[in-house]
Amino acid sequence: MRPIYRGRNVPEAVRKPPVHTVAGMGTTATHCAYCALQCAMTLTADAGGRVTVGPRDFPTNRGGLCQKGWTAADLLGSPERLTTPLLRDDRSRPFREASWDEALDVVADAISATQAAHGRDAVAVLGGGGLTNEKAYQLGKFARVALRTKNIDYNGRYCMSSAAAASNRAFGIDRGLPFPLPDLAETGAVLIAGGNVAETMPPFMQHLTAVLDRGGALIVADPRRTATADRATLHLPVLPGTDLALALGLLHLAVADGHADRAYIHDRTTGFDDAWRTAAQWWPERVERVTGVSVAAQRATVAQLAAGARGRGAVILTARGAEQQSKGTDTVSALINLALALGLPGRPHSGFGCITGQGNGQGGREHGQKADQLPGYRKIDDPAARAHVAGVWGVDPGELPGAGPSAYELLESLGTDGGPRALLVHGTNLAVSSPRGHRVAERLAALDTLVVCDVVMSETAALADVVLPVTQFAEEDGTMTNLEGRVIRRRRAVAPPPGVRTELEVLTELAARLDCVAAFTADPETVFDELRRASAGGVADYAGISWDRVDAEGGVFWPCPSADHPGSPRLFADGFPTADGRARFVAVEHRPPAEDVDAEHPVYLTTGRVLQQYQSGAQTRRVPALAAAAPEPQVEIHPDLAGRNGLADGDQVRVVSRRGDAVGRVRLTTTIRPDTVFMPFHWGGDQAVNRVTNPALDPISRMPEFKVCAVRLERVGTS
């Protein structure tokens, strides 16, 4: 066991651990900085400190990398790196450089003063789905035992919350893919609802191409004929906001056309009759009128999935297009119902899964960043869960706060009477990624203190009072949990620039300044060992996973309750982790989007990602090759819609909703519905499409409705 260090004097050996190398001097085996595919790569540092990237064979990427992966090391030496703490004595004045001791003293004093004046919940924390498991765990612990605040959530609320809620109520567990990704290549049919993996995680396409090469079916439901849909055997051009109606219609046809697996439904599920009573009302012609997907395409979809189920297998996958809606949880539930009716979950090369987006979107939501969760995916209001975790932390269970509000609700409360007066932000660019962006910027400005840990001056960091420079992926050790539930190793390849610290150091030193009674450490392996103990017995049980084991086995799937347990690459073969061992059908009903089109705002807007950029773009916009390939947002518009609005290819267009506006470049294309426009969300300022999007929340997951709102188009200028 490594020693636990408290206070300001963290030894240099802990602060800057040795660089891990394999396969020769200066070469490190690690994983990509970006999406949840977590492609394996090698980083090679030359004598001058320049780092180059090479692909590494791994089950998920099979030696492939996308353009973002190939350029992942370019930001390490960027002139835009933050390398010293920055303070602002007054928001009317620019930042000034500060020492770490001064900056941390300022933060600790602000926390203490704020809580003394307004109570413990007056300080809030927002984390990110890109943090390592160790940092996500330590952040949750810091909030609950050092700050003792209920106000913590993370940006995965904007990503996986609807899929997680639906999976939990159907299966009793939330793991994005309940099978290894290579299983997908062996199946006979795949339906993807609202995902464009060809651009968001290109190496994923190898597994889908294998399905097609063997004569299988790939079906994609999306308002756009994306790069993924273009490869598909069938494209379902669903009207934004109607994915739930489509899913109900597909279940209707599965039953009415005789494709339901009655034995599976009887033996392994509950709730079918209630779910069927709702789906029975969604006959194909009604679904066509609501969604725009033809009866023939609906029937072909169900027939191809059913044929796969009877043969090599079939898989249904959801992604953000279906999930980021004010009814996203119910939409995912309806697609789970379809998978259960066809008898897919738990069978070889079959099942239901959700494509996790952020690099550690899976692990980041398992160990304490979410408002209502403790490590191990435990519920924070469960007395037994509180007692177990409090025992690991060495505190009284009664001192742990209860559940707090979700991310957007937390942002809405900032600076209000009774709301948080100080906010600590780790690994998220809220000013760009949150809906109704103008309002979010106003709430951030209303704070007494905003502290941001980041590697560059993001749009959120630019609003802060204190900015703390932290390490990037190649400068830190830790673990990540990819979209399969496979725990993998992130390895330190190079030392960070002088003046840059890890977030584990930041949290450890702040906890000491706040006189926290619980032990904190800056050593990531020690933090992971504590995470293992805290997760033991929980749904996401990491107790049997060690760094050494992950290194030796190339990754371990959770749940893994003991050192002699093999891990759990495939779930549900012998039952479901529910009270009765059965999966649950959930009866759901379609409802329109929170905001529909009208005469003033007659066009649907949907949002998403493009190949060369990632999330809010804070990092990828600073990589020269990626910025050159995608320098600005393009608004995809059908030529018919453009003609009606007097727009030509290359024009500047303003997209206007009831909340705000964003400007982009017109890209004419016939691959999008004539009633819909698409705009990516990777840019800030007047190019930030989330100034336009709707913060209407799913009543269960509290997911905002990013994927559909009503807009009008205004011509700004020509190319």
**Which tens digit of pLDDT belongs to each residue from 220-269?**
999 999 999 999 999 999 999 999 999 999 999 999 999 999 999 999 99
Note whether residue 514 is domain-resident: yes
Note whether residue 5 is domain-resident: no
State the pLDDT at residue 718. Answer: 59
Of 355, 382, 404, the one marking the end of a domain is 355
Together in a domain, 183 and 287: yes
Together in a domain, 372 and 323: no
CA–CA distance, 422 with 123 (Å, rounded to integer): 5
Together in a domain, 336 and 368: no
Note whether residue 457 is domain-resident: yes
Together in a domain, 389 and 434: yes
Together in a domain, 264 and 186: yes
Residue 172 sits in a domain whose CATH number is: 3.40.228.10
State the pLDDT at residue 48. Answer: 79
Residue 121 sits in a domain whose CATH number is: 3.40.50.740
Domain count, the chain: 4
Together in a domain, 230 and 246: yes
Q: Are 323 and 331 in contact (CB under 8 A)?
A: yes
Chain segment 347-400, per-residue pLDDT in tens: 999 999 999 989 999 999 999 999 999 999 999 999 999 999 999 999 999 999
Note whether residue 535 is domain-resident: no
- Coil, strand, or helix at residue 488? strand
Together in a domain, 91 and 71: no
Chain segment 286-327, per-residue pLDDT in tens: 999 999 999 999 999 999 999 999 999 999 999 999 999 999
Domain hosting 71: range is 12-75
Has residue 133 got a pLDDT over 60?
yes
Together in a domain, 326 and 181: yes
Least confident of 5-9, 70-74, 451-455, 702-706: 5-9
Kindly tell me the sign of the dihedral angle through the C-alpha atoms of 228, 232, 238, 243: negative
Kindly tell me the sign of the dihedral angle through the C-alpha atoms of 284, 258, 169, 318: negative
Is-cis flag, bond preceding 559, omega within 30?
Answer: yes
DSSP per-residue codes, 564-607: T----SS-STT--SSTTS-EE---------SS---SSS-EEEEE
CA–CA distance, 492 with 376 (Å, rounded to integer): 26
Residue 624 sits in a domain whose CATH number is: 2.40.40.20
Contacts of 459 (CB under 8 A, 6+ apart): 429, 431, 432, 616, 618, 684, 685, 688
Together in a domain, 635 and 494: no
Q: How many CB atoms lie within 10 A of CB 382?
A: 13
Together in a domain, 195 and 234: yes
Together in a domain, 300 and 314: yes
Contacts of 422 (CB under 8 A, 6+ apart): 110, 111, 114, 122, 123, 124, 447, 448, 449, 450, 451
Note whether residue 580 is domain-resident: no
Of 355, 384, 407, the one marking the end of a domain is 355
Together in a domain, 52 and 105: no
Chain segment 703-718, per-residue pLDDT in tens: 999 999 999 999 997 5
Q: Which of 550, 556, 559, 392 is nearest to 477 (CA)?
A: 550
CA–CA distance, 623 with 430 (Å, rounded to integer): 21
State the pLDDT at residue 24. Answer: 39
Chain segment 97-124, per-residue pLDDT in tens: 999 999 999 999 999 999 999 999 999 9
Chain segment 589-608, per-residue pLDDT in tens: 999 999 999 999 999 999 99
Of 504, 522, 540, the one marking the end of a domain is 522
Note whether residue 545 is domain-resident: no
> Residue 341: which pLDDT band, with cuts at 50, 70 and 90?
very high
Q: Are 113 and 410 in contact (CB under 8 A)?
A: no
Note whether residue 446 is domain-resident: yes
Structure tokens at 411: 């942002």
Has residue 12 got a pLDDT over 90?
no
Q: Average pLDDT of 531-540? A: 98
> Residue 46: which pLDDT band, with cuts at 50, 70 and 90?
confident
Note whether residue 571 is domain-resident: no
CA–CA distance, 237 with 612 (Å, rounded to integer): 24
DSSP letter at 20 equals P
Helix (H) or strand (E) holding 450: strand 449-454
